[in-house]
Structure 1
Amino acid sequence: MDHLDKLENKSIHIIREAYSEFNNLSMLWSIGKDSTVLLWLARKAFFGHVPLPLVHIDTGYQIPEMIEHRDKLAKEWKLDMIYGQNEKALEKKQTLPAGNVDHTQCCKNMKAEALKKTLNGTWKRYRMNHETGQYEADDNQKPYTGVIVGVRADEEGSRSKERYFSPRDTNNDWDIGDQPPEFWSQYKTDFAPGTHVRIHPLLDWTELDIWEYIKREQIPIVDLYYDRGEGERYRSLGCYPCTEPVQSTASNVDQVVQELKSGKFSDIAERDGRAQDSDEGAGLEELRKDGYM
């Protein structure tokens, strides 16, 4: 097996292990390249079918092309697509674009809080009706006790502290110092009742691995990752008020792979254009302790 085969096999093993060990499991899909690769791996793990719901946290400020791509693939691949949202914060304008909170608080409101309340079922969930193609309020509010997430250890400092099977408490809060050891590909999956578990099948992957896999598998991703004639593209996707593109003329997957191999971005962090990563101190780590993806 080559390098990508080994990564693929390990990720599929972790996805299947999670599915066999945890009841009421879900998978987060941010519509970005990493979580789309994760979705592709899940389809491979279950022979073209994804037997668990896909959850997207809609902040109301995603780039429109992301939402279009989400719904297009959800219909084509017949995904059980669900989204959640902090409707109260949007109504009260407790967001950065409204000018009432800073980056960190906006992320807490629109992402961390919305994620926790969507996963535990205390806030509304909206599920795609495949007959109409529209989203409707979901009657099922049962908590998701486990969630599969497409984070990578090399993407950002706090993510490197994760485990493949990472326990949270009932509030989804993360105690970094209380993570189980994972030696020789042995994973702890028997947690105390009430534990919420995040599963990270892409932990070993790098940004280049992701792109080479997208190239090999011809995975459809949102075209915001490519230059569309303006001399810039996105390396990392988030809310449009807080995410900046990079200067690049890479207009297809081959050119993106070549950019990463040539060293154009070798000294620039992948999330350099994400405003919440630029705040002083360990802001993103604190957000992740509080439930942020």
Structure 2
Amino acid sequence: MDHLDKLEAQSVYILREAYREFKNICMLWSIGKDSTVLLWLARKAFFGHVPIPLVHIDTHYKIPEMIEYRDELALKWKLTMIYGENKQAIQEKNTFPEGKVDRITCCQSLKSEALKKTLSGEWDRYIMDLNTGKYIPDTNCERYTGVIVGVRADEEGSRSKERTFSPRDKENDWDVGDQPPEFWNQYKTDFAPGTHIRIHPLLDWTELNIWEYIDRENIPITSLYFDQGDGKRYRSLGCYPCTTPVESTSKNISEIIHELKSGKFAHIAERSGRAQDKDDGGGLETLRKGGYM
């Protein structure tokens, strides 16, 4: 087995363990490359079928191509596709792009709070009707006890402090100092009732690993990651008012891999184009302690 084979096998094992150990779990799909690799691994883990609902938190400020890509792939792969939102904040335009709050407050509202209330079932969820391709109200309001997330330890500082099976309290709040030990791939999966669990099958992957795996497996991803002729592309995807592309002429996966190996981005954080990270002191720990992805 080469390095990618080992990473794949470990991630498939974690996905199967999560599905076996936890009663009602979902998988977050941000539509980016990492969570799409995670989705691909889930299809491998369960032999082409994904028995876990996919959840996306729609801020209504995502780049339009991201939403188009989400729905096209959900229909093609027959996914249980669900989205949630902070309907009140969006309707009242209580957001950063509208000039009413700062970036951190906007993220806490449109992402963290929306995620908490969507996972708990307190706020409306919308599920794709695979016959029509339209979203309808989801009648299942049962609380998700765990959520599978495509974060990597090398992505930014706070994520390097995660465990593969990471407990949160009932409000999804994260106590960074109270993490279970994980030695020699021995994972704690027995938690007190009411504990919310975040599961991270990609924690040991790097940005380069992700792109090499996408290349090897021919995984479909959004074209936003590639230069469309203006010498720029997105390295990390998010809300368009707070995400800027990087200077890059990479037009395909091979060129991105070369770019990562050549050192062009070796010492530049992957999320350097995400303005909310800078507003959070250069990282995401404040936001993530409160439930941010």
Instruction: Please confirm whether the aligned pair reaches a TM-score higher than 0.5, indicating the same fold.
Output: yes
Query: Aligned letter for 2:206?
Result: T
The equivalent residue for 1:164 is: 164
Partner Cα distance (2:235, 2:88) in 1: 31
SS in 2 for 1:69: helix
Query: Aligned letter for 2:243?
Result: T
The equivalent residue for 1:103 is: 103
Query: Aligned letter for 1:82?
Result: I
Query: 5+ residue gaps in structure 1?
Result: none
Contact residue 242 and residue 276 of structure 1 kept, 8 A: yes
Partner Cα distance (1:64, 1:93) in 2: 19
SS in 2 for 1:241: helix
1:187-234 CA-to-partner distances (Å, cap 9, x unmatched) read: 000100000000000000000000000000000000000001111000
Q: Which TM-score applies when normalising by structure 1?
A: 0.99
Partner Cα distance (1:282, 1:264) in 2: 21
Partner Cα distance (2:154, 2:181) in 1: 19
For 1:113-132, what aligned pairs fall within 5 Å after superposition? 113-132=113-132
The equivalent residue for 2:180 is: 180
Q: Which TM-score applies when normalising by structure 2?
A: 0.99
Partner Cα distance (2:136, 2:95) in 1: 25
Partner Cα distance (2:201, 2:283) in 1: 25
Partner Cα distance (1:214, 1:280) in 2: 31
Provide the aligned C-alpha RMSD in A.
0.8
Identity rate, percent: 72
Superposed displacement of residue 132, structure 1: 1.0
Partner Cα distance (1:282, 1:290) in 2: 17
Superposed displacement of residue 280, structure 1: 5.2
Contact residue 104 and residue 283 of structure 1 kept, 8 A: no
Distance 1:78 1:200, change over 3 A: same
For 1:24-35, what aligned pairs fall within 5 Å after superposition? 24-35=24-35
Determine if the alignment matches structure 1 residue 66 to structure 2 residue 62: no
Partner Cα distance (2:126, 2:35) in 1: 20
Superposed displacement of residue 279, structure 1: 1.5
SS in 1 for 2:241: coil
Superposed displacement of residue 281, structure 1: 2.8
The equivalent residue for 1:203 is: 203
Query: Aligned letter for 1:229?
Result: G
Partner Cα distance (2:264, 2:71) in 1: 33
Contact residue 169 and residue 195 of structure 1 kept, 8 A: yes
Query: 5+ residue gaps in structure 2?
Result: none
The equivalent residue for 1:241 is: 241
Query: Aligned letter for 2:136?
Result: E
